[in-house]
Structure 1
Amino acid sequence: MRPTVHDIAANAGVSLATVDRVLNGRPGVRAVTRARVEAAIRKLGFVRDVAAANLAKGRVYPLTFIVPHGENPFMRGLEREVLDAVDRSSFERTRISIVNVPPFNAGALVTAIDAAIADGVAGVAAVAVDAPEVAAAIARANTAGIPFVTLVSDLAASQRDHFCGVDNVAAGRTAGSLMARVLGTRTGPVAVLAGSMLVRDHRERLEGFRAVMAEAGGGRPVLDVLEGQDDPKLAGTLIAKCLKGNPDLVGIYSLGAGNGGLVAALAAAGRDNLCVIAHELTAPTRAGLESGLIDAVLNQDAGHEVRSAIRILRAKADGLPVVEAQERIRIDIFIRENLPPEGGEAGLSQPGEA
């Protein structure tokens, strides 16, 4: 039988109220009495069920999600999933707030993280920018005992507790494999459209893509990365210029956002003979698939990522283990023939994940 607080009280010769004060680190207990209670805890092998204790006390978990603002449709879908979680918060015992920061802006992200630390939240989830000052801010959260989860783009070398997102190197390799299969024996250069090389997910996707292009791409050169800042106007301008300057172009890999501009540039140039692989099933990429201007879209489930982040932050706050299999985010591949019903882009269902 597992020892209880009653056993501790009897063994230490104190009241249940005194045991409760020691377990919860509250004042009002003499040092000698506290030592006696702690000795009884060790002797009996008592392990506290933190989650049950928090449930009994009706603990509410204040969580902060930090999401870039702007026109990126995937980020807006991610934000909608967080808002859905806010609606569920009353019975999930969470109090969720959303903070928007400029995309790819490390300073703004650091300010938002430090504000969450100052507020004493129970956990933070953020789309990370790969910068030393961001890693330092995450370390400050760690020192304050605040669990930290990175969303979509990781910062693996930091002191974050968990990453909720796909394996982005594998995603890039998948894109490269799809492009090599579609192009077959066709030769010519391939363009890459990114948001910014300041985020690790874009760099990792590029790494995986380039590796497969070198291995199985028939020696096709990969052109210098076009950084569209996830802005559809800038992305469209860059792609239009690339198409004009490279008439022998055979493929485009869009590993970020700004795909509305990509589709518009392809349509204006009348280039439907390219292999185009993009990320995230949003309104622009769906339109590209339906029109035949995009061949395939690699997608991650924003809803799963948000729900996963909440589960992990609560588990970390309670000192409980994370169920790794439940929190693994998979890569879905969509082509025109297997598109889900319109409007289901933001939170596609995941088998085995509640």
Structure 2
Amino acid sequence: MAETLAPIALTLKDIAREAGVSLATVDRVLHNRPGVRPDTVRRVKAAIERNSFQPHVAAAELARGRARRFAFVMPSGPNPFMQQIEAYLGEMASWLSARRLGVEMVATDVFDPSALASSLEALSGDYEGVAVVALDHPSVRAAINDLVDAGTKVVTLVSDVPSSRRHHYVGIDNIAAGRTAGALVGRLVGQRSGKVAIVAGSQGLRDHAERIFGFNQVMAAEFPGLSVLPVLEGRDEDERSEQLLARLFGRHADIVGLYNVGAGTQGVAKALGDKASGDRASGDAGRDKQVVFVGHDVTALTRRLLLQGVMDAAISQNPGHEARAAVRVLLALARGEPILREQEKIRIDIVMRDNLP
């Protein structure tokens, strides 16, 4: 079921009511016309600022006679990074309202192509724009193309389907992110030789597949003393990721590096021997001090793991920037306006314990 974040739009009448003045007075203040007392001007301007009201934008949208509706198709389940994006969308309520925009969240299993395709198909005709965390699969590609053919503007978010007719991708260069992770693991391992484990949500997710590709490129070219093990797919689930990795550690005593491509970070940390999880006695460090651990995103959990020295580095992307960029891109597409590509470009950051934001 979709969750509506901001379906209500402010008008000049709303500002006049909140300031306790007439509509004509608000109009005079907006156009700097004389005849309004200074305290009234201050009251009207305070109401405008308090509601992040932009009259010229709002007036243009009001002339359309109805609000625009966008849907964000997001992964179901406790993925901290995706929850951050949703939280930032919630914080945009005033900005959205001033532009007569309604943004609704649609949760689905993005690892299941039929479930994701069905969720996309159900949106046809109801929304002007759709942002989707996409699985690169023929059925998902077809569902995206059908939406586009029906006149819906489609933006892929975090994970792309470049072979589809989606209008724009909002996210980092995931091959570059994977290469960055590979360089970090290789250099932090140093002169040791051994094996490197990779845990991903699913290689069907384009962002995960591209990160793995970039990681393997660097490993093969620059660190011949390190052998990369076959990818484990934990579906971004803590328990599944923990079990898969624990079994891998049982089979390979010489693992010196670990790359966690997606979420499931708590499970990965437990398998490594995260003392903060309470699963190990204080005298047993497990493998968390012997294995170089690089993952993604700065969340409450990864922050703690970095501070404890369990995690060595996080490849970070700004969830607030991604949320705002996705909305701005959809709005520009709906209005037929140009997309400011430099403004919407998502940057890759390397975060370690010593530079935590």
Same fold (TM over 0.5): yes
**Which residue, 160, 178, 181 being the options, matches 2:184?**
178
The runs of 5 or more residues in structure 1 that have no matched partner are 1-49, 341-354
Deviation at residue 72 of structure 1 after TM alignment: 1.5
**Which residue, 214, 235, 245 being the options, matches 1:239?**
245
1:115 aligns with 2:122: yes
TM-score by length of 1: 0.78
Q: Is the 8 A contact 2:58 2:99 kept in 1?
A: no
Q: Deviations over 1:235-258 (max 9, x none)?
A: 111122222221111100000110
- Which residue is equivalent to 1:79? 86
1:92-107 matched pairs, under 5 angstroms: 92-107=99-114
Q: Is the 8 A contact 1:185 1:218 kept in 2?
A: no
Aligned equivalents of 1:244 and 1:291: distance in 2? 24
**Which residue, 260, 269, 286 being the options, matches 1:270?**
286
Q: Deviations over 1:42-86 (max 9, x none)?
A: xxxxxxxx9985464465221000101112211222222222234
Which amino acid counterpart does residue 316 of structure 1 have in structure 2? L
Which amino acid counterpart does residue 93 of structure 1 have in structure 2? R
Deviation at residue 204 of structure 1 after TM alignment: 0.3
Q: SS of the residue aligned with 1:189?
A: strand
- Which residue is equivalent to 1:281? 298
Deviation at residue 219 of structure 1 after TM alignment: 3.6
Q: Is the 8 A contact 1:193 1:253 kept in 2?
A: yes
- Which residue is equivalent to 2:167? 161
Aligned equivalents of 2:150 and 2:115: distance in 1? 20
Aligned equivalents of 1:320 and 1:88: distance in 2? 18
1:190 aligns with 2:190: no
Which amino acid counterpart does residue 109 of structure 1 have in structure 2? L
* Aligned-residue RMSD, C-alpha: 1.8
1:194 to 1:266, Cα distance in 2 relative to 1, 3 A = same
- Which residue is equivalent to 1:352? none
- Which residue is equivalent to 1:217? 223
Aligned equivalents of 1:234 and 1:124: distance in 2? 30
Deviation at residue 109 of structure 1 after TM alignment: 1.7
Deviation at residue 218 of structure 1 after TM alignment: 2.9
Deviation at residue 266 of structure 1 after TM alignment: 1.3
Aligned equivalents of 1:54 and 1:90: distance in 2? 10
Q: Is the 8 A contact 2:81 2:297 kept in 1?
A: yes
Deviation at residue 215 of structure 1 after TM alignment: 0.9
Deviation at residue 338 of structure 1 after TM alignment: 1.0
Deviation at residue 122 of structure 1 after TM alignment: 1.3
Which amino acid counterpart does residue 161 of structure 2 have in structure 1? L
1:338 aligns with 2:344: no
- Which residue is equivalent to 1:318? 335
Aligned residues: percent identity? 45
Q: Is the 8 A contact 2:61 2:100 kept in 1?
A: no
- Which residue is equivalent to 2:152? 146
1:261 aligns with 2:267: yes
- Which residue is equivalent to 2:206? 200
Aligned equivalents of 1:309 and 1:59: distance in 2? 21
Q: SS of the residue aligned with 2:90?
A: helix
Q: Deviations over 1:87-135 (max 9, x none)?
A: 542113211111100231222222222222131x110001001111111
The runs of 5 or more residues in structure 2 that have no matched partner are 1-56, 274-279
Q: SS of the residue aligned with 1:97?
A: strand
Q: SS of the residue aligned with 2:229?
A: coil
TM-score by length of 2: 0.78
Aligned equivalents of 1:284 and 1:67: distance in 2? 20
Aligned equivalents of 1:244 and 1:177: distance in 2? 26
1:305 aligns with 2:322: yes
- Which residue is equivalent to 1:15? none
1:53 to 1:71, Cα distance in 2 relative to 1, 3 A = closer
- Which residue is equivalent to 1:45? none
